[in-house]
């Protein structure tokens, strides 16, 4: 019989593109992942990974195993959800584990309080958290390496979602342009991209969705945005703005109180908004543990949270 943990390790390599990424995702060492896959190769009698330069790629047999194992693993996940429900009913409490992935501002502005509340109210429920960009989060949930993802999509541009995932809308976040209070544009009620064409910008890295939206914001505006400073932390963006080193587009979710030296102004034509959603696999829809976490996130949004953002 196939070693299911080894199959999951192979799927993680296929998703992450390397043994190292798979190991980080699964919480193992690279050596442990390699050993799992070697065990699977011995058991099946076929080569599943092969060297490609300094890395590895799946062989045809490896890709076939990843593809054909998907429905089997999905069935097992449904069975596990049913058993989890039975355990929870018998124990008269929610039990199990829900592995969550979310982007940084959702971690800071939403999930810290949600996870603390779940720990108090459901002590038998484990909810380990991993921070990741929305694209990575979707891949992690789709491949079974995480159970619930909190993702965002900017400006109505849809985030690609595999058919076996369910996305539940949560709320709409708003991003403002943060400028020094003595900036020539600081007294405006709203700002259009053309107003900001000559500004120096502070932005996240080029590979992020936030950076892609910033570029899209300036479609049709020549030579903009002019990125001068890069940081993955919006708190750093605010400090750089406070020091007069540029302007930044900063979401309200998870944003700390602004220092008196800066102002925040919303954008128009287009407005800078992002849709926040919860994502999980269809096969887990019956899981009481997953539903408990999703309900807690929804409650956090409803109880004054979204109001503070709007």
**Tens of pLDDT along 84-126?**
666 655 556 788 899 999 999 999 999 999 999 999 999 999 9
pTM greater than the 0.85 cutoff: no
Low-confidence winner among 27-31, 113-117, 291-295 (lowest mean pLDDT) = 27-31
16 pLDDT band, cuts 50/70/90, is confident
Cβ burial, residue 182 (10 Å; 0-12/13-18/19+): exposed
The helix (run of H) or strand (run of E) holding residue 152 is strand 148-154
The confidence score (pLDDT) of residue 190 equals 97
Q: CB of 272 within 8 A of CB of 247?
A: no
Question: Where do the domains of the chain lie?
Answer: 4-71, 73-171+275-309, 174-270
Phi and psi at 178, nearest 5°, equal -100, 125
57 pLDDT band, cuts 50/70/90, is confident
**Alpha-carbon distance 217 to 193, whole Å?**
7
Q: Do domains 4-71 and 73-171+275-309 have the same CATH topology?
A: no
Q: Is the pLDDT of residue 159 over 70?
A: yes
Beta strands 262-267 and 200-203 are unpaired
Token pair in block for residue 174: 């708003």
Homologous superfamily, domain 174-270: Periplasmic binding protein-like II (3.40.190.10)
Q: Is the pLDDT of residue 77 over 90?
A: no
Q: CB of 169 within 8 A of CB of 102?
A: no
Low-confidence winner among 60-74, 84-98, 146-160, 246-260 (lowest mean pLDDT) = 84-98
DSSP state, residue 186: T
Among 306, 290, 305, 275, residue whose Cα is nearest residue 209: 275
Q: Which CATH class is domain 4-71?
A: mainly alpha
| The CATH number fitting domain 73-171+275-309, selected from 3.40.1260.10, 3.40.50.2020, 3.40.190.10, 3.40.50.300 | 3.40.190.10
Q: CB of 29 within 8 A of CB of 40?
A: no
Question: What is the rounded average pLDDT for all residues in the chain?
Answer: 88
Q: Is the pLDDT of residue 78 over 90?
A: no
310 pLDDT band, cuts 50/70/90, is very low
Mean predicted confidence (pLDDT) in 237-247: 98
Buried b (16+ CB within 10 A) or exposed e, 19-40: bebbbbbbebeeeebbebbeeb
4 pLDDT band, cuts 50/70/90, is confident
The helix (run of H) or strand (run of E) holding residue 105 is helix 104-106
Mean predicted confidence (pLDDT) in 13-26: 82
CA angle (39, 42, 44) in 5-degree steps: 110
How large a percentage of the chain has pLDDT more than 70? 92
Q: Is the pLDDT of residue 298 over 90?
A: yes
3-state helix, strand, coil split of the chain in percent (to 5) is 45, 25, 30
**Alpha-carbon distance 205 to 292, whole Å?**
34
**What is the tens place of the pLDDT at every residue in 190-236?**
999 999 999 999 999 998 999 999 999 999 999 999 999 999 999 99
The confidence score (pLDDT) of residue 70 equals 77
**What is the tens place of the pLDDT at every residue in 140-152?**
898 888 999 999 9
The confidence score (pLDDT) of residue 24 equals 79
């Amino acid at each position: 019989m196939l070693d299911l943990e080894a199959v999951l390790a192979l799927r993680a390599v296929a998703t992450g593109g390397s043994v190292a990424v798979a190991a980080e995702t699964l919480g193992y060492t690279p050596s442990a992942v390699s050993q799992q896959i070697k065990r699977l190769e011995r058991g099946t009698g076929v080569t599943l990974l092969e060297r490609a330069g300094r890395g590895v790629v799946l062989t045809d047999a490896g890709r076939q195993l990843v593809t054909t194992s998907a429905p089997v693993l999905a069935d097992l996940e449904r069975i596990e959800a049913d058993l989890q429900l039975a355990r929870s009913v018998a124990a008269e409490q929610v039990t199990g584990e829900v592995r969550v992935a979310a982007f940084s501002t959702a971690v800071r502005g939403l999930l810290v309080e949600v996870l603390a509340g779940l720990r108090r109210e459901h002590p038998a429920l484990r909810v380990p958290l991993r921070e990741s960009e929305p694209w990575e989060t979707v891949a992690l949930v789709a491949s079974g390496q995480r159970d619930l993802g909190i993702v965002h999509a900017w400006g109505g541009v849809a985030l690609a979602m595999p058919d076996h995932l369910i996305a539940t809308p949560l709320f709409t976040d708003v991003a403002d342009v943060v400028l020094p209070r003595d900036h020539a544009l600081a007294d405006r009620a709203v700002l259009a991209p053309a107003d900001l064409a000559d500004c120096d910008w502070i932005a996240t890295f080029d590979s992020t969705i936030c950076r892609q939206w910033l570029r899209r914001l300036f479609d049709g505006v020549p030579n903009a945005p002019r990125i001068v400073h890069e940081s993955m932390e919006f708190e750093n963006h605010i400090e750089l703005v406070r020091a007069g080193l540029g302007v930044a587009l900063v979401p309200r979710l998870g944003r700390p109180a602004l220092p008196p030296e800066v102002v925040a102004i919303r954008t128009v034509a287009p407005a800078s908004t992002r849709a926040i959603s919860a994502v999980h696999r269809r096969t887990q829809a019956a899981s009481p543990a997953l539903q408990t976490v999703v309900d807690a996130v929804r409650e956090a949004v409803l109880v004054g949270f979204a109001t503070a953002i709007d």
